[in-house]
């Protein structure tokens, strides 16, 4: 039912595709003839071009797209996505947060939006707005998680694809994409469908076992030519809620070691902090709710180089 739900809501979309036979077509959204939505590739059919064009003409209005990946579930990928998006929003950027994690869309819970339902307009699916941030999650459409569990691969991919191209984001500075975990077909199609990704933030936990997964995620990005913005080691030590002292429960440093050995940036280590779990359960972003804590300071230090990299890219685009 949910799959057809998406189709029904988005069926109202106008066909705004640029099918001009002009020799020098421009993208009907951004007006740029260099935009990949402006002309078909040599290896794609008319239908494939139209589909890609629909997606790309949404995304070309977004300056920076960052995907958040992890080798496996439960390491804090959604937590990092929500706090990264909130930190960017708090620094004055226009931000969208897209949760495409089919089997665990936790963004609605983490932002207290479980009761929200998505509505459609002529242009497509309207994101939920919260404190100046636009949010879209598969969780708004798939209210019964058990249903998604039995979806076959192609069905999941179809939903992800349709979902990506149907959301009306408007003009944004940043879109943070919370991907399904792993390096399988789902994150693969997300990285392939979203052209011009700024890069990936890879979240891991400190143990060696998790580090093997992060190595795989880095290789995955290299193979897809997705730049690795950096690795975040989450649940690295435990912050005592009474005295604030950090105790290393699990062996730490796995994320840093892998990042160094694979020559990608290490963005920082976030401790296990009961305040983070509490904020998530209360539907609040920790970084704004507990802004004065040392853990929030660590999160801000992780976000800083991401913002800096974004402004370098912006300058390069404006003054090539
Ligand atoms: P993933 O997206 O990788 O599946 P989540 O972000 O949903 O993981 O996190 C799983 C659970 O762990 C959530 O309940 C979240 O609140 C909690 N959590 C994540 N990071 C931390 C942390 N650093 N300290 C305490 N709890 C955390």
Tell me if 35 is assigned to some domain.
Answer: no
Residues in the chain: 320
Q: Where are the alpha helices (DSSP H) in the chain?
A: 2-10, 46-59, 77-90, 107-110, 145-149, 153-166, 185-193, 208-224, 254-261, 274-281, 286-289, 294-318
Residue nearest to atom 10 of ligand 1 (CA): 74
Q: Which atom of ligand 1 is nearest to the CA of 270?
A: 23
Tell me if 106 is assigned to some domain.
Answer: yes
The angle formed by the CA atoms of residues 50, 53 and 55, to the nearest 5 degrees, is 115
- Residue 145, pLDDT score: 66
Sign for the CA dihedral angle at 7, 3, 124, 35 comes to negative
Tokens of 233: 């080691």
Tell me if 55 is assigned to some domain.
Answer: no
- Count structural domains, the chain: 1
- The pLDDT mean for the chain works out to 86
Tell me if 145 is assigned to some domain.
Answer: yes
Q: Which of 18-22, 79-83, 315-319 has the lowest mean pLDDT?
A: 18-22
Range of the domain at 251: 4-14+63-318
**In the chain, % of residues over pLDDT 90:** 53
Residues 145 and 114: their CA atoms lie apart, in Å, by 13
Tell me if 201 is assigned to some domain.
Answer: yes
- Residue 268, pLDDT score: 95
Q: Which of 33-37, 111-115, 214-218 has the lowest mean pLDDT?
A: 33-37
Residue nearest to atom 16 of ligand 1 (CA): 277
Band (pLDDT 50/70/90 cuts) for residue 312 is low
Ligand 1 neighbourhood includes 235 CB (under 6 angstroms):
yes
Reported as a single tens digit per residue, the pLDDT across 77-92 is 999 999 999 999 999 9
Tell me if 228 is assigned to some domain.
Answer: yes
Ligand 1 centroid from CA 281, angstroms: 10
- Residue 20, pLDDT score: 45
Tokens of 42: 């040599």
- What mean pLDDT comes out for the span 209-236? 92
- Residue 11, pLDDT score: 46
Tell me if 40 is assigned to some domain.
Answer: no
Q: Name the residue of 70, 77, 79 whose CB sits within 8 Å of the most ligand 1 atoms, as the mutation to test its pocket.
A: 79
The answer to whether the beta carbons of residues 174 and 95 sit under 8 Å apart is: yes
- What mean pLDDT comes out for the span 223-247? 90
- Residue 9, pLDDT score: 53
Q: Which long-range contacts (CB under 8 A, 24 or more apart) does 281-286 make?
A: 281/109, 282/112, 283/109, 283/110, 283/111, 283/112, 283/113, 283/114, 284/111, 284/112, 285/82, 285/83, 285/85, 285/86, 285/110, 285/111, 286/79, 286/83
Beta bridge pairs of residue 216: none
- What mean pLDDT comes out for the span 150-173? 85
- Residue 13, pLDDT score: 42
Q: Which of 27-31, 244-248, 301-305 has the lowest mean pLDDT?
A: 27-31
Reported as a single tens digit per residue, the pLDDT across 264-286 is 999 999 999 999 999 999 999 99
Ligand 1 centroid from CA 289, angstroms: 16
Return the CATH number at 112. Answer: 3.40.50.300
Q: Which of 57-71, 79-93, 247-261, 295-309 has the lowest mean pLDDT?
A: 247-261
Residue 114 has, within 13 A of its CA and on its CB side, a CA count of 12
Tell me if 202 is assigned to some domain.
Answer: yes
């Amino acid at each position: 039912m949910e799959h057809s739900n998406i189709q029904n809501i988005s069926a109202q979309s106008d066909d705004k595709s640029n099918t001009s036979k002009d020799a020098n077509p421009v993208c009907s959204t951004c007006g740029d003839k260099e935009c990949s939505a402006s002309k078909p590739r040599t290896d794609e059919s008319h239908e494939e071009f139209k589909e890609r064009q629909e997606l790309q003409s949404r995304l070309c209005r977004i300056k920076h797209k960052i995907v958040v990946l992890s080798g496996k579930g439960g390491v804090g990928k959604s937590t990092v996505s929500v706090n990264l998006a909130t930190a960017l929003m708090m620094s004055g950027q226009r931000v969208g947060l897209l949760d495409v994690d089919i089997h665990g869309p936790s963004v609605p819970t983490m932002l207290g939006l479980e009761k929200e339902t998505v509505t459609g307009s002529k242009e497509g699916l309207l994101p939920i707005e919260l404190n100046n941030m636009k949010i879209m999650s598969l969780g708004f459409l798939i209210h019964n998680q058990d249903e998604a569990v039995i979806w076959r691969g192609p069905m999941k991919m179809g939903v992800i694809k349709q979902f990506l191209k149907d959301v009306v984001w408007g003009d944004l500075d940043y879109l943070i994409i919370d991907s399904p975990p792993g390096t399988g077909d789902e994150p693969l199609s997300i990285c392939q469908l979203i052209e011009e990704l700024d890069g990936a933030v890879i979240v891991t936990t400190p143990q060696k076992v998790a580090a093997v997964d992060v190595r795989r995620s880095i290789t995955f990005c290299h193979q897809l030519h997705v730049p690795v913005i950096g690795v975040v080691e989450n649940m690295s030590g435990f912050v005592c809620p009474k005295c604030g002292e950090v105790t290393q429960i699990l062996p730490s440093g796995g994320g840093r070691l892998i990042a160094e050995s694979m020559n990608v940036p290490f963005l920082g280590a976030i401790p296990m902090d009961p305040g983070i779990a509490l904020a998530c359960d209360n539907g609040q972003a920790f970084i704004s709710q507990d802004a004065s804590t040392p853990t929030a300071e660590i999160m801000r230090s992780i976000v800083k180089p991401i913002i800096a990299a974004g402004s370098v890219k912006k300058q390069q685009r404006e003054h090539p």
